[in-house]
Amino acid sequence: MGAPAPLTTFDVASASAPTNIAVVKYWGKDEARGGNTPINSSCSLTLDPADLRAETVMVASPELDRDELWLNGAPVDVAGASTHARRLRACLATMRARCARPPAGSRASAAAELAGWRVRVISRNTFPTAAGLASSAAGYAALVRCAAALYGVAVDASLSGVARVGSGSACRSLDGGLVAWRKGAAPDASDSLADPLHAADHWPGLRVVVVVASADEKETPSTEGMRRSVATSPFLAHRAAAVAEPRVAELAAAFGARDFAAFGELCARPRGARAAGPTVARARATPRPARSAEASTRGARPSGTRRRSRRAARGRDVPSRPGPAQACATPTASDPRAPPPPRARRPPPRQASTRRASTATRPSSTSTRRAGRETADSSPLRRGRSPEEGPTPRERSERSSPVHK
């Protein structure tokens, strides 16, 4: 299937919807309620549709034998068992059921006829798809707007519940400005809807900078990541109840006051805690089991006081370690805090002695020959001198020199 086949009889509608960036993210599905409902409320900033948006065209025709979806020029299977295929079918079924009468100019003669026609959905994004920029939110918001225009359904707050079935955050892309998504409490999820907090023109000077580091698709889809978190994280329920819910109200107040410092601090605060201090306190709330005195001292390294006592017992002068105030002060000679004078170091041995010892240990051939000559020739008897005469001046000079030259 290279391109959509041409049609002759059809109804058509088009719409677009922007993406949104969550400032309080929902993370985790409430599987007990169903309907793609969250475990906590969230809120987001709707971006300018002139920059990041999804554009969708929906065509209903009696010539189609099945529903079709073309995303960014490529066909997508909507008849399979994938998550998005099932959600797309659920959204279309809900909008068809709401069709009361065909809109003006429709080729269908009755609402039942129009609802029975299959549809072809052609959608494209002006930004990378499935790369973390809420492309599914923009796509399903545009899809619901298209379906409302195609089937003559009134545009009201209940449409956000239909968009939520397709993609949870899609309900927030139907309105501009700062939008909250209330998790609700009704068993049928009828109150899990979008709640516009501030219009898009409330803070005209606010800008959102989007930097696309990679256009590749995410390795783990958001739905799968949420499922894993709900199944494995013991802290997710605490984050939903004690962190996310209060922060929605705090962000709404900061946005209403146009307080950028407070708004930015709340957005940058760690997702898992309201502040760093309480998080650490909660993490360490469970005390460690006490150790017995025997276990505490067994194999323990002696403290600094004990080490100094041992050194003093061996007759070594051990000055006490100065405190912070002492370390900053400059003690004088009469100050008792002054450290003792350094001990006199023993001078190193003379170089001559070292060289003489080295020569005696490893005599060279020259030294050996000189020593042999001195032994053979320095005897006064062998040179005809009597012992009473003593050595000659030359002999005395050679013997007093530290190194033979």
What are the tens digits of pLDDT across the range 21-62?
999 999 999 988 888 999 999 999 999 999 899 999 999 999
DSSP 172: G
Q: 393 or 90, which is more confident?
A: 90
Q: Which amino acid is at 180?
A: A
* One-letter amino acid of 285: A
Q: Is the pLDDT of residue 260 over 70?
A: yes
Percentage of residues of the chain with pLDDT beyond 70: 66
The strand order across the sheet containing 118-125 reads: 11-18, 53-61, 118-125, 68-71, 74-76
Is residue 369 very low, low, confident or very high in pLDDT (cuts 50, 70, 90)? very low
Residues 404/367, Cβ–Cβ less than 8 Å: yes
pLDDT-based confidence at residue 301 (cuts at 50, 70, 90)? low
Structure tokens at 202: 């409330």
Q: What is the DSSP letter of 242?
A: I
Q: What are the structure tokens assigned to 60, written together?
A: 């209903």
The confidence band for 337, taking pLDDT boundaries of 50, 70 and 90, is: low
State the pLDDT confidence band at 198, using cuts at 50, 70 and 90. Answer: very high
- In this prediction, residue 247 has a pLDDT band, given cuts at 50, 70 and 90, of very high
Inter-residue contact 192 to 184 (CB < 8 Å):
yes
Per-residue pLDDT at 37: 93
All domains of the chain, ordered by start, with CATH? 11-198+213-273 (3.30.230.10)
- Tell which wins on pLDDT, 375 or 138: 138
∠ CA 43-48-197, nearest 5°, is 30
- Kindly give the residue spans of alpha helices, DSSP state H, lying in 98-199: 111-116, 135-151, 159-166
| Contact present, 150 and 13 (Cβ < 8 Å) | yes
Cα separation, 394 vs 209, whole angstroms: 96
The answer to whether the pTM exceeds 0.75 is: no
Record the tokens describing residue 8, joined without a space.
Answer: 């002759």
Q: Does 16 have pLDDT greater than 50?
A: yes
- Position 99 pLDDT exceeds 90: yes
Higher-confidence position of 160 and 34: 160
Give the DSSP H/E element, type plus range, for residue 11. Answer: strand 11-18
In this prediction, residue 278 carries a pLDDT of 38
Phi then psi dihedrals of residue 10, to 5 deg: -170, 160
The mean pLDDT of the chain is 78
